[in-house]
Structure formats: C-alpha cells, structure tokens
Amino acid sequence: MLSNIGVVYDGLGDHRRALEFYEQALSIARDVGARATEATTLHNIGSAHDGLWERHQALEYYEQALPICRGVGDRAREATVLHDIGFAYDGLGDLSRALEFYEQALPIRQDIGDRAGEAVTLNNIGQVYDGLGDRGLALDFFEQALFIWRDVGDRADEATALHNIGGVHDGLGDRGQALEFYEQALSIARDTGDRSGEAGTLNNIGGVYVRLGDRVRALEFYEQALPIVRDVGDRASEAKMLNNIGRVYDGLGDPERAWEFFEQALPICRDVGDRAGEAFALNGIGGVYNIMGAHRRALGFFEQALPILRDVGDRAGEAVTCYNIAMIHRVQGDLGRAITELEYVVDLDRQVDHPDLESDTDMLESLRRERTRAQEPWVIRIARLSLELMRKFLTRRGRDAKG
C-alpha cells in the first residue's frame, strides 16, 4: 500500500513526496524479508531520484536493486533496472557506461518478449550512438525501434522514433529528409495530444530552418513552440526556446528584440540548472551590448559565460567567447591582452577543428602586425608614413604622365 501511494505521487511529478512513502515501504519489506518487494522499492526510489535529476543517488539504489532482482529470478525487473542504470549514466554524460548497461538490458527484453521495453532500449542505444557521433549506427537502432512501435501500435513512441531519425538526418546535413521525418512526428504528436512532443518537434524544425538560412521560417516554428512549453510548465524547454528566438533575432539584425529574449532566458536557465543555456544567454546579452558599443558591459557578460563554458566542456563555445573578449580588448586599445586571448582561441580552434581556425589565425597575425607598428619609435613611424606617401605620389604622377 505505501509503495502504491509512492507510485501515485511519482506519477504526479511529486518525487519528494513519493520518496517518503517508498522509504517507509522499503523498511517494512526488509523487516519481513520480502526480497522481491525490496528490489521493486529500491528501483522505485532510484527512479524518483532520477526524476529529481539526482543521478548519482539513483545509481546507488539501482545498484542495490540489481543483485536482488537476479537473486529472486525477476528477469523483467532486472532488464528494467539495467536499462535505468544506462539511462542514469546517459544523463551524467557517460555514454560508454550507458551503452554497456543498455546492451545488457536488450537481450533480456528480447528473450522475455517485452517488445515495448525492447523498443525503448533500442531507441536509447540509438541516442547514445548519435551522441558518440556514429550516426549510421544510430539510424539503424532508431529504425528498429520505429518498426516495433508501429507493429505494436504505439503512436506516441512512433513519433519519438521519427523525431530521432529526423535528428540524425539533420546531423548528416540532409535537411530535406530531416524535415520530412520531423513533419511526420509533428502530425502524430498533434493527433495523440502529446503537447511536449509537439513543442520539441516544432523547435527542431525551427533549428533546421536556421541551418538552411531561413530565419523568418525558423521564427514561425519557435514562436509556435514557446506558448506550448509554457502551458505544460516545461521551464527547461522554455529557456531553450527563448534562447533560440533570441539567436534568430540577433541573426536578423534586431539586437533589441534579441536582448529581450536572452534576458528572459537567463533567469530560467539558472533556476533549472541549465548551465550551457545560461552561458548561451550570457553570450547573447554580451553580443547585443557589444553591437550597441557598450563594450565594458559586454565584457562583463562574456566573462561570466567563460567559466561556465569551461565547466560544461564546450570548447567551441569557449573559443567564440574568448574571440569576443579579444576583440573588446582590441577596441579598448589593449593589444597585448587581445593577442593573448587570440593565441588561446587559435589553440582551441586547432583542438576542436573549428571552422574559424583560418580566419582567427589571420586576425591574430593582423593584431601582431598592428602591435609591432604601434611599438615602433615615432621617428620610424613618420619615416614609414612619408615613404608610403611618396610612393602614392609617384604612382599618381606616373598615371598622370600616361594620360
């Protein structure tokens, strides 16, 4: 009974309250020696912690549940626990460990005929391979999941697979195919009333249009998604939408509107713990101030973004932010600091194979030449200027004579 009450609170999203009941149920299960119930309750406690984004605590309980499941011969629960351990590692960014546990869960689910569970694990393995950059394998697993979900008539998860396949095609640069799959997913999400899925797909369609260079179309889709995530109370997605809309307005040359959306996104990112989104909003606000000529204010925002980008391991974002900081130092006349920042930028560009490596290297060399000229004694500078003026004068005289 206590465990069932916990399940109800879990389903309502009140994971803290659910934990209170699960922990009481666990104590009783241990007192009476009910090992199967103990395993189930440990798993439920782990799931509640996972719902609270407390991945390490979730793993502690899953790892206690797993040997008990094996000891009592509960293969279905064993597979679920293995899958959920994989999911926790996935959430922690440890994709190799996630894959290890998903691959243990998959054959058990196949052996016991759990087709719905099999499809979920196939889908998650696809997501891991996508995260690892192996889009060919990701596509293979997503297509296997799609086949099963269609076979069992699970339309909501069919939309999930279609959405993921669209993401792979987008990552491969095939925007047309991406849009085709996203639009199928969107239609199903609307048919089934999956508002969160609808918003996520609208957001991704907007992203495709950004990459196609059609920012106006992108804005249409982002602006459809934003009220939906607000209605369903998904603050993390709301922050992402606000950042995306800010980025589009920035690209459309409307810094005031961009600033408005970045400013809305920033406190939400902080509230939900989205550090990457926080850095994006800080950079966006800094960029707007930079365009407006408020370089000191811009620098303050870039310098707030920088340690966050380092913490989350976004080296490409770090390179862009350091470049912006370098350009502000240049405008302020501090060529030494500008060059130091750009040297670091070029090093980062090489490490991440950044597409701006060549242009950033050119800028670094340009600043070095600028500093060399600035450090020349005034007599040499006057002589150089006189020589340049003489050359122009002689060139002009030559042209006049030919006329």
Residues 125 and 218 in one domain: yes
Residues 129 and 181 in one domain: yes
Q: Where does a domain end: 168, 200, 233?
A: 233
Q: Would you say residue 192 has pLDDT above 90?
A: yes
Average pLDDT, the chain: 90
C-alpha neighbours within 13 Å on the C-beta side of residue 98: 22
User: What average pLDDT does the segment 332-360 reach?
Assistant: 88
Residues 75 and 119 in one domain: no
> Alpha-carbon distance 283 to 307, whole Å?
12
Task: List Cα–Cα distances, 154 to 25, 239, 334, 385, in angstroms.
Answer: 33, 30, 61, 77
Asked if residue 54 belongs to a domain, the reply is: yes
CATH number for the domain including 43? Answer: 1.25.40.10
Count of structural domains within the chain: 2
Q: Where does a domain end: 112, 129, 157?
A: 112
Residues 19 and 89 in one domain: yes
Tell me: the pLDDT tens digits for 211-267?
Answer: 999 999 999 999 999 999 999 999 999 999 999 999 999 999 999 999 999 999 999
Which phi and psi angles does 244 have, rounded to 5°?
-65, -40
At residue 51, the pLDDT reads 87
Q: Could you tell me where the beta strands, DSSP code E, fall in 245-328?
A: none
Identify whether the C-beta of residue 90 lies closer than 8 Å to the C-beta of residue 124: yes
> Alpha-carbon distance 256 to 284, whole Å?
11
Asked if residue 19 belongs to a domain, the reply is: yes
Tell me: the pLDDT tens digits for 48-79?
Answer: 988 888 889 999 999 999 999 999 999 999 99
Asked if residue 129 belongs to a domain, the reply is: yes
Q: Where does a domain end: 199, 233, 267?
A: 233
Residues 177 and 76 in one domain: no
DSSP state of 376: S
Residues 107 and 207 in one domain: no
Residues 173 and 123 in one domain: yes
The owner of tokens 């369609």 is 205
Q: Would you say residue 376 has pLDDT above 80?
A: no
Residue range(s) defining the domain that contains residue 72: 1-112
Q: Would you say residue 13 has pLDDT above 50?
A: yes
At residue 333, the pLDDT reads 87
If you write DSSP's letter for every residue of 81-111 in order, what string do you get? HHHHHHHHHHHTT-HHHHHHHHHHHHHHHHH
Report yes or no on whether pTM surpasses 0.85: no
Asked if residue 323 belongs to a domain, the reply is: no
Residues 106 and 119 in one domain: no
**55 by DSSP, 3-state: which?**
helix
Residues 185 and 88 in one domain: no
Per-residue pLDDT band for 392 (boundaries 50, 70, 90) equals: low
User: What average pLDDT does the segment 353-368 reach?
Assistant: 88
Q: Would you say residue 402 has pLDDT above 50?
A: no
